[in-house]
Amino acid sequence: MLTDRYSHENRPSVLKPVSYSVFDQAMELKSVFGDNCRIRMHVDHNEQEKVLVYEYFIDDLLYLVSNERGLPIKVRKLILREVGLALRDLHRKHWIHAGMIR
């Protein structure tokens, strides 16, 4: 049985129970984009319980580029460029990103 506390390769991780359709889509995403370093994907999974394991991050990239005062503008632009390139990669293979709404 999986618990909320998990470590994958000695890195803090988070468990995300999902529906069958989301689980299947995540597996397909990984098979299509598994070698794409720009797209965040699960690092492990439990097929029986339909649970995805993601590396744990305190904040998201939007928060980082918006609020991290010590982050140079050059680095902020680089991060935003990489996000744009990740979206391009998704769109080229006819995948749509439904981003977080705040």
- My answer on whether 28 and 66 are in the same domain is no
31 lies in some domain: yes
Residues 19 and 53 in one domain: yes
Q: Confirm whether 42 is domain-assigned.
A: yes
Report d(CA 40, CA 35) in Å as an integer: 11
Burial 42-67 (b: 16+ CB within 10 A, else e): beebeeeebbbbbeeeeeeeeeebee
Q: What is the pLDDT of residues 23-62, one digit of tens each?
A: 999 999 999 999 999 999 999 999 999 999 999 888 888 8
31: its two tokens: 């098979």
On whether residue 10 sits in a domain, the answer given is yes
Q: Write the burial class of residue 23 (CB in 10 Å: 0-12 exposed, 13-18 middle, 19+ buried).
A: buried
In a domain, 99, yes or no: no
Within a domain: residue 102?
A: no
Supply the pLDDT for residue 50.
Answer: 96
Bridge partner list, 12: 7
> Are 70 and 34 in a shared domain?
no
User: Which pair of structure tokens corresponds to residue 7?
Assistant: 């470590």
Q: Is residue 101 part of a domain?
A: no
Q: What is the pLDDT of residues 61-95, one digit of tens each?
A: 888 899 988 999 999 999 999 999 999 999 999 99
**The model scores a pTM over 0.95:** no
Whether 15 contacts 49, CB under 8 Å? no
Counting the structural domains of the chain, the total is 2
In a domain? residue 87: yes
Are 86 and 39 a contacting pair, CB within 8 Å? yes
